């Protein structure tokens, strides 16, 4: 575990780097200068180590790595009543320099509410980005020449406040958002609502993520402590409900390679790893099922967990970040790797029993 001096609430995998497992962490301090930390797993040690330190002018409330350039990222920030979002470049560090200022490439101006997150275009090298605040979703075009970002459109969520979103990796015209207690999907061509799941959670929907293999499947988490998996074509009832947390579930994320693996974390200081196979099409209701989808609860943290991230290089590695500034590195157990590599698990035995063996 790496312990920061400063508080922090956002972590992101460097998704453009497929050769190394690296993560970006943004700090959140009222009095100290804030920083972006670049962490990397050592080739020999297998442990996290610092690989770079960059100064940032304000408290960092959100962080997202560019999917096609390892040196570019976006942040959501706030300080003394002011807020904003910007695109940054990690400059080359001078020899012997303790830290280096980030280079600002563009600002996403125009928001009138505190910004919740930024979303990069999900496919290929593309210069569109989405930013979301409590009331509006903005679509921007980033000019590679360094000109100001151009607003392409916006949509209002109405009376329901948005808490975050996810750009569909299957349909680049669709962005899903957490709107109050509901899940809403927006069509960026018309800037209108495309589909909705009303009352997805009993409290605020906090986070959501698309299944990387299935276009209509989304996982959500909320203030009711639940994690739920939805088929947007059948919005009445969730496909699965995972009641493994004791308080607000702030983060949820699919594994990019293995759709069966889901991470969740929240204010109960736990990180849960779930094994949730997709519904078997064409099989009877008597088909074998896993009796307990909760593979393991990780208890390394002592404070609320605000960030989780799967490695972009290694599907068996993930990191978690708690508010007190602790970053923990974890690994999917070998027994579960074998199950996934064999593609099918047909026993009704609990996964926890395998974990003990």
Q: For residue 205, what is the enclosing H or E element?
A: strand 205-210
**What is the average pLDDT across 344-355?**
46
Instruction: Report if pTM > 0.85.
Output: yes
Q: What is the pLDDT of residue 3?
A: 67
Q: What separation, in Å, do the N-terminal and C-terminal C-alpha atoms of the chain show?
A: 26
Residue 264 has pLDDT above 80, yes or no: yes
Give the integer Cα–Cα distance in Å for 123 and 135. Answer: 26
Question: Sheet containing 294-298: which strands, arranged edge to edge?
Answer: 249-254, 261-266, 271-275, 294-298
Between these two residues, 239 and 344, which has the higher pLDDT value? 239
Least confident range from 23-37, 94-108, 152-166: namely 94-108
Report the relative pairing of strands 48-56 and 100-101 from DSSP bridges.
Answer: parallel
**What is the average pLDDT across 313-322?**
95
CB–CB of 116/133 below 8 Å? Answer: yes
**What is the average pLDDT across 314-329?**
95
Q: What percent of the chain has pLDDT over 90?
A: 69
Residue 354 has pLDDT above 60, yes or no: no
Q: What is the pLDDT of residue 286?
A: 37
Task: Express each pLDDT in 271-284 by its tens digit.
Answer: 999 999 887 654 43
Give the integer Cα–Cα distance in Å for 205 and 177. Answer: 9
**What is the average pLDDT across 191-208?**
95
């Amino acid at each position: 575990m790496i312990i920061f001096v400063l508080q922090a609430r956002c972590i992101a995998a460097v998704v453009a780097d497929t050769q190394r497992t690296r993560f970006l962490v943004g700090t959140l301090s009222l009095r100290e200068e804030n920083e972006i930390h670049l962490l990397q797993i050592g080739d020999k040690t297998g442990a996290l180590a610092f690989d770079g330190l960059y100064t940032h002018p304000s408290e960092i409330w959100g962080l997202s790595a560019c999917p096609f350039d390892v040196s570019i990222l976006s942040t959501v920030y706030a300080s003394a009543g002011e807020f904003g979002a910007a695109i940054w470049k990690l400059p080359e560090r001078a020899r012997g320099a303790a830290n280096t200022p980030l280079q600002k490439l563009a600002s996403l101006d125009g928001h009138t509410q505190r910004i919740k997150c930024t979303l990069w275009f999900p496919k290929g090298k593309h210069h569109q980005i989405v930013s979301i605040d409590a009331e509006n979703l903005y679509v921007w075009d980033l000019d590679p020449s360094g000109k100001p970002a151009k607003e392409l459109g916006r949509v209002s969520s109405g009376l329901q406040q948005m808490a975050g979103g996810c750009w569909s990796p299957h349909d680049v015209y669709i962005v899903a958002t957490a709107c109050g207690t509901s899940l809403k999907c927006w069509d960026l061509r018309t800037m209108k609502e495309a589909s909705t799941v009303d009352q997805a959670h009993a409290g605020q929907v906090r986070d959501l993520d698309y299944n990387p293999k299935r276009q209509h499947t989304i996982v959500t988490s909320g203030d009711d402590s639940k994690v739920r998996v939805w088929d947007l074509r059948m919005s009445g009832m969730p496909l699965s409900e995972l009641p493994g947390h004791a308080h607000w579930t702030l983060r949820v994320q699919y594994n990019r390679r293995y759709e069966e693996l889901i991470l969740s974390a929240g204010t109960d200081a736990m990180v849960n790893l779930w094994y949730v196979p997709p519904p078997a099409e064409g099989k009877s209701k008597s088909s074998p099922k896993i009796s307990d989808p909760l593979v393991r609860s990780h208890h390394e943290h002592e404070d609320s967990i605000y960030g989780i991230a799967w490695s972009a290089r290694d599907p068996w590695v993930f990191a978690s970040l708690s508010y007190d500034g602790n970053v923990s590195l974890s690994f999917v157990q070998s027994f579960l790797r074998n199950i996934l590599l064999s593609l099918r698990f047909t026993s009704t035995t609990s996964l926890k029993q395998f974990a003990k063996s």
